[in-house]
Amino acid sequence: MSLIADNLATVKERMAEAARKSGREPDAVRLVAVSKTVPIERIVEASEMDGCVFGENKVQEARDKIESLGTEAYHWHFIGHLQRNKVKYIPGLFELIHSVDNSELAEEIHQHSLKHDLVTPVLIQVNVSGESSKSGVLPSKLEELLDMLISLNGISVRGLMTIPPFDPDPEKSRKHFAALRNLRDRMRKVNIENIVMDELSMGMSNDFEVAIEEGATWVRVGTAIFGDRTTR
């Protein structure tokens, strides 16, 4: 088994154990292998593990990789900050966009999706920590934003995403993951038309087990699979 395959197997076992620890089925949580800056040959190597989804955060880098590898045998998510002027390049490339945080961006994705006769699944990024350096709608503004997206039939809102402040102690992230889960549950009770709150994208290499314990349905793991970016 190659190092990447071995790392993937270890991450998936850790995910399964965290799910079982919290009384969930392991298949309730799915993995995004964060492949930003990862060379194509290493993505090919990782793809040999069943069910691997790759996460990219730069549109041009992602387009180059997808042009080489395609979207039939490979599955792609966009997980980074998305600029409105790049949206025209993305219809049909990604199965899920994790990082919609304002109505203007949602409208842009909606319009370009309709031009291609597509509906693009998206998650709403929420800044649960309130960090000024983080993207995301504030929790107090989430319901207002969701109400603005009701009529956009070129997108399909599937849930929420967050990025907590980095801390070497994964337990420090728990309160932020719990806050996103509670926010998701509150939005479910509001029952906004055409808005689905099934997904929670949260947790990365240093804290994904805590995220799973707090309800993550997607975890975004790069370093634990591909190694530190400076060594790639």
**What is the pLDDT at residue 130?**
87
* Rounded Cα distance, 126 and 142, in Å: 8
**What is the pLDDT at residue 1?**
58
pTM of the model: 0.95
* Rounded Cα distance, 94 and 99, in Å: 12
pLDDT < 70 regions, the chain: 1, 230-232
**What is the pLDDT at residue 229?**
72
3-state secondary structure labels for all residues of 58-88: CHHHHHHHHHHHCCCCCEEEECCCCCHHHHH
**What is the pLDDT at residue 231?**
54
**What is the pLDDT at residue 35?**
97
**Residue 160 token pair:** 């929420």
Which domain, by its residues, includes 126? 3-231
* Rounded Cα distance, 100 and 124, in Å: 5
* Per-residue pLDDT tens digits for 185-222: 999 999 999 999 999 999 999 999 999 999 999 999 99
Q: How many domains does the chain have?
A: 1
Pairing of strands 96-100, 218-221: unpaired
**Residue 176 token pair:** 């932020």
* Residue pointed to by tokens 């060379």: 39
CATH of the domain at 33: 3.20.20.10
